[in-house]
Structure 1
Amino acid sequence: MTSVAPVELDPLLIGRRLRHVRSESGRTLGDVAGEVGMSASALSLIENGKREPKLSVLSALASALGTSVQDLLTSTPPTRRAALEIKLERAQRRDSYQALGIPAVKIGPRLPMEALEALVGMHEAMAAAQAERAATPEQARRANAELRLKMRAADNYFGEIEAEAGRLLGAINHPGGPISRAAVDRLAGHLGFRLVHTSDLPASTRTVTDLHHKRIYLPQPEAGQHDSRSLALQALGHLVLDHQVPADYAEFLSQRVEINYFAAALLMPESETVAALRTAMKDKDIAIEDLRDAWAVSYETAAHRFTNLATKHLGIHVHFMRIAQSGVIYKAYENDGVIFPSDATGAIEGQRVCRAWTARRVFEQPDLSQAFQAYTDTRSGTYWCTAVVDRTPDGLFSVNVGVPYQQVKWMRGRETTHRAVSRCPDPSCCTQPPPDLAGRWQGQSWPSARVHSHLLAAMPPGVFPGVDDTEIYQFLDRHAPTD
């Protein structure tokens, strides 16, 4: 049986066509609304594009006005003025405009046509200027945004990688539980490679693979066993997943996501992890800390793994963030409707999250060794989040996992009384300083900003971003065994 795609309604366009047809017929709001059994205010909301009408309501309105539903759903605005009004309404609804803190212009018949054209032209010029400012890092940022959409569409679950990880664990007869360093060595041997730790790995690399001599060079495991295992498994992931030299930055990013997923699927096997999660869900006691401890991985790996499996196997929608203490986003994922701050390209990396969000509030807690849970009311709904602080050589970061309020019943820590309200992108929420503070210091300070260039730059020259080929080849020369 052939399925029929649902009609996608455009409330603004429908509203303008509806108003045009009603005005042409010389009828009032109250007259038409009374005939179809609704209030004049409700019909006004529909005509202004602030309420999406049900098809049954649209059918009744079309009948009352002597037209067809198809005529009301046509994609062409009825007049040039209507087209301009729609453009201005959409522009004023964008986050980028709301963040400016400028009042929206009331759109109606009293707004002169010349003013309407000027305002639309101004918004289009602003959008073009924003796009031009983003042109330098555009490739990288757009690639990040597109990859995040792909991950969301898949609920961050990639079955082919799960299956490959399961096959490999079976090939080395892994008995279950945390995968040991010895097991990682056996896995490398199964694939025909040997793991070698060295202290002179090039600074621009995490690992280097010698495809000719079948060696994978890793840094000395000073950071901890699970970090060493993860790096080794990621390097093996390139081989198992048959990665080729990336053609562009988008492919490079996609490969990074895939090898991270591959490593996590081996460190925390799907069947065992899902079984543990289902038991915890039955007890309404899911906690990222339990996953971390059970499989001897980092909190971030456990949090990522939860996002891989929670929607597919438990029906729980989720978001994840890793942010710096300054609030700047380094990594993020969502399929639960939370709205991350973004730039004109749709990219979120390098944007600053609201001070009211749990991911930032965790830095204010007296004991940074404990997980912090809180509820946050946002423009897209209420979310419960749990966050921990990760101490790194580059400073403090927080790793945050959140779920919608409707699904918090499964999570440990849901009884928290910590709550906050985020009004972002309203500038008065947290981007503008309090008036009394601004009054004392505005014009009297000059900060020297730290630039997060690695988040903003487009793909550097060379096949692999930021890697010096000469340095790599010299390293391999030093370590290559004598044939």
Structure 2
Amino acid sequence: MTDLSTLGHRIRHFRVKAGMTLEELGNITGTAPSQLSMIENGRREPRLSLLEALASALGVAASDLLEGEAPSPRAALEIELERAQAAPAYRELGLPVLRPSRGMSDAVLSTIVGLHRELGRRARMSIATPEEARRANTQHHAMMRAKNNHLPEIEEIAEQTTNGVRHTTGALTHRSVAEIAKRVGLTIVHTSDLPHSARAVVDREHGRIYIPPVSIPGGHGLRSLTLQAVANTVLGHQAPVDYADFLRQRLEVSYFAAACLMPRAASLEFLEQAKKDRNIAIEDFRDTFGVTHEAATLRFTNLATQYLGITLHYLRVDGGGAVMAAYENDGLPLPQDATGSTEGEMVCRYWSARRAFARTTRTSEHHQYTDTPVGTFFESTQTGTGTTGDFSITLGVPYAESKWFRGRESQRRESSTCPAASCCRRPEDGLMEHWQGQGWASPRVRSHLFAPLPHGTYPGVEDRELYEFLEAHAGD
């Protein structure tokens, strides 16, 4: 059944259209006018028998009353106002509820509703401050750690999706991706004028996925972008209500794309054999399914603990040593700020994620053992270069699990006592005393870590750019 507010407005709409008063409709249906008034105002749900009696009295089908759409533009405004005033942000103000009278013009009602929309938008903007975003990120990481970075419900949806195009193993072709999109009513359109802040755009009204003509260097391939856009439809995502909701949706669409590109059954068959051979290597996993090194590493984190019994950690670190993304369920002491967030924090200079940048040849993976206060870890790191500079992708496991991985014979070994400041952050004895006040440096500020999040429905994407793009392409 539709929501009570919409149902009430539809009943009132058909009653007025039929020229009946509440008393007249009540006499026909045997219902007190006060009860009908409560139903029309969305405060009481009618029994099915009464709903059928009302429909009969009004000369319409019961299904007409149950339609989910507002019966008129005016009713749509009244429903939106009612919902806005029921929201916690409005109730906290302690202001009275405004019920639009018949004498209130549509223009006045539209202005009031527009004010509520703007207040809601500003409330969402204030939620997405850098500090709140970092707190949401911390909660997000804790949730995924508890789930071993594994989402079985999305695994099932992705498996059904790939089975629908008869794909089971190997690299998922662009043709199969296009077929997957077509099955949910979407057509792929390549365009070079995407909003500068967006990697892909979905036009639900016209059933289109807009993606760039070529893959993004060091980033997401076109297949992944398309599958993420498909996931938005398949998983029924709406505009995120806050930053935490945005993070959840971003995780789910990325997970869906990875699960399609590297199907669970085929991936597990490959990884279980590699474990049996004691020859697990992300580069082999990557090449088997034709994905990026980062995609293969993240997909490994989805499956390793749940199905192979291997705890692990993952890091994406920029060329300056700052964490761009991280995950761990093996106890590695990741750097954290006061909110518990890891993004933007500097990793230890002795960890593989940073040591790998010092190599003159970066085509192969860097392997090393790292001693930490909580034990020794085996780590494998691949470096790359993207649009924003150098980065490294690291997969690490506790020492006991290294026996399953290629590169375990590495003789490289480093010692880290982080998070102790004496490890790699505090200057050696005498240096601070000698140089304090005598030196100056211009910092290489990672501005994206400190700037407020862009003021858009989707953090990082400007609303004006997005909607102007959709409007410009609507007639194509």
User: TM-score with structure 1 length normalisation?
Assistant: 0.70
Per the TM alignment, residue 176 of structure 1 is displaced from its structure 2 partner at its CA by: 2.5
Matches within 5 A, 1:141-290: 141-223=134-216, 227-290=221-284
Matches within 5 A, 1:64-463: 137-223=130-216, 227-435=221-429, 437-438=431-432, 441-457=435-451, 459-463=453-457
- Letter in structure 1 aligned against 2:198: T
- Letter in structure 2 aligned against 1:309: L
Per the TM alignment, residue 264 of structure 1 is displaced from its structure 2 partner at its CA by: 0.4
Per the TM alignment, residue 450 of structure 1 is displaced from its structure 2 partner at its CA by: 2.6
Distance (whole Å) between structure 2 residues aligned to residue 187 and residue 170 of structure 1: 10
Distance (whole Å) between structure 2 residues aligned to residue 475 and residue 426 of structure 1: 50
Q: 1:331 is paired with a residue of what secondary structure?
A: strand
Q: 1:309 is paired with a residue of what secondary structure?
A: helix
- Letter in structure 1 aligned against 2:175: A
Maintained 8 Å contact 1:350/1:456: no
Q: Structure 1 pair 230/136, CA: closer, same or farther in 2 (3 Å)? A: closer
Maintained 8 Å contact 2:129/2:453: no
- Letter in structure 1 aligned against 2:176: A
Distance (whole Å) between structure 2 residues aligned to residue 176 and residue 287 of structure 1: 18
CA offset digits 1:323-357 (Å, max 9, x no partner): 01111001000001111010111111110010110
Maintained 8 Å contact 1:318/1:403: yes
Maintained 8 Å contact 1:359/1:400: yes
Per the TM alignment, residue 438 of structure 1 is displaced from its structure 2 partner at its CA by: 4.3
Maintained 8 Å contact 2:381/2:394: yes
Q: Structure 1 pair 316/481, CA: closer, same or farther in 2 (3 Å)? A: same
Maintained 8 Å contact 2:168/2:266: no
Kindly, what percent of the aligned residue pairs are identical?
48
Which blocks of at least 5 consecutive residues in structure 1 are unaligned?
A: 1-134
Q: 1:279 is paired with a residue of what secondary structure?
A: helix
Per the TM alignment, residue 407 of structure 1 is displaced from its structure 2 partner at its CA by: 1.0
- Letter in structure 1 aligned against 2:202: T
From 447, 458, 462, the equivalent of 1:464 is 458
- Letter in structure 2 aligned against 1:476: L
Q: 1:434 is paired with a residue of what secondary structure?
A: coil
Q: Structure 1 pair 271/206, CA: closer, same or farther in 2 (3 Å)? A: same
User: TM-score with structure 2 length normalisation?
Assistant: 0.71
Distance (whole Å) between structure 1 residues aligned to residue 168 and residue 314 of structure 2: 30
Q: 2:390 is paired with a residue of what secondary structure?
A: strand
Distance (whole Å) between structure 2 residues aligned to residue 426 and residue 392 of structure 1: 32
Distance (whole Å) between structure 1 residues aligned to residue 130 and residue 203 of structure 2: 32
Distance (whole Å) between structure 1 residues aligned to residue 246 and residue 442 of structure 2: 32
Q: 2:259 is paired with a residue of what secondary structure?
A: helix
Distance (whole Å) between structure 2 residues aligned to residue 393 and residue 355 of structure 1: 23
- Letter in structure 1 aligned against 2:398: P
Maintained 8 Å contact 2:315/2:326: yes
RMSD: 1.7
Maintained 8 Å contact 1:226/1:297: no
Q: Structure 1 pair 300/269, CA: closer, same or farther in 2 (3 Å)? A: same
Per the TM alignment, residue 452 of structure 1 is displaced from its structure 2 partner at its CA by: 2.3
Distance (whole Å) between structure 1 residues aligned to residue 215 and residue 150 of structure 2: 31
Per the TM alignment, residue 437 of structure 1 is displaced from its structure 2 partner at its CA by: 5.0
Aligned residues: 348
Per the TM alignment, residue 173 of structure 1 is displaced from its structure 2 partner at its CA by: 1.6
Q: Structure 1 pair 226/344, CA: closer, same or farther in 2 (3 Å)? A: closer
Q: 2:221 is paired with a residue of what secondary structure?
A: helix
Which blocks of at least 5 consecutive residues in structure 2 are unaligned?
A: 1-127
Q: 1:336 is paired with a residue of what secondary structure?
A: coil
